[in-house]
Amino acid sequence: MQIPFEPQLFGYNINIHLVLEYLAFFIGFRYYVYLRRKSTDAISSNNRLTIILGAALGALIGSRLMGVLENPLVEFTKENSIQLLNAKTIMGGLFGGLLGVELAKKCIGETQSSGDLFTLPIILGIFIGRIGCFLSGINEFTYGKKTAFFMGMDLGDGVLRHPTALYELVFLALLFFFLKYGKKRSLLKNGAVFKWFMILYFAFRFFIEFLKPNVFYIFGLSSIQILCIICMLYYRKTLVSFTKQTP
**pTM of the full structure:** 0.89
Contact (Cβ atoms closer than 8 angstroms) between residue 91 and residue 228: yes
- Provide φ and ψ at 161, rounded to 5°: -125, 160
Q: What is d(CA 236, CA 227) in angstroms, rounded to the nearest whole number?
A: 14
User: Could you tell me which residues come within 8 angstroms of residue 72 by beta carbon, excluding any fewer than 6 positions away?
Assistant: 217, 223
DSSP state of 146: B
Q: For residue 116, name the pLDDT band (cuts at 50, 70, 90).
A: confident
Across the range 61-74, mean pLDDT stands at: 73
Q: What is d(CA 238, CA 165) in angstroms, rounded to the nearest whole number?
A: 28
Peptide bond into 163 cis (omega under 30): no
Indicate if the pLDDT at residue 26 is higher than 60: yes
Quick: pLDDT tens for 191-242. Answer: 889 999 999 999 999 999 999 887 777 788 888 999 999 999 999 988 888 7
Round the average pLDDT of the chain to a whole number and report it.
85
Burial of residue 158 (CB within 10 Å: 0-12, 13-18, 19+) is exposed
User: Could you tell me which residues come within 8 angstroms of residue 217 by beta carbon, excluding any fewer than 6 positions away?
Assistant: 72, 73, 223
Burial of residue 121 (CB within 10 Å: 0-12, 13-18, 19+) is buried
User: Could you tell me which residues come within 8 angstroms of residue 202 by beta carbon, excluding any fewer than 6 positions away?
Assistant: 91, 94, 227, 228, 231, 232
What would the DSSP string read from start to end of 108-121? Answer: HT--S--SHHHHHH
Q: Comparing 7-11, 58-62, 136-140, which segment has the lowest mean pLDDT? A: 7-11
Segment (H or E) for 161: strand 160-161
Quick: pLDDT tens for 128-158. Answer: 999 999 998 888 878 889 999 888 999 988 8
| Whole-number pLDDT of residue 210 | 92
Percent helix, strand, coil in the chain, to 5, is: 65, 5, 30
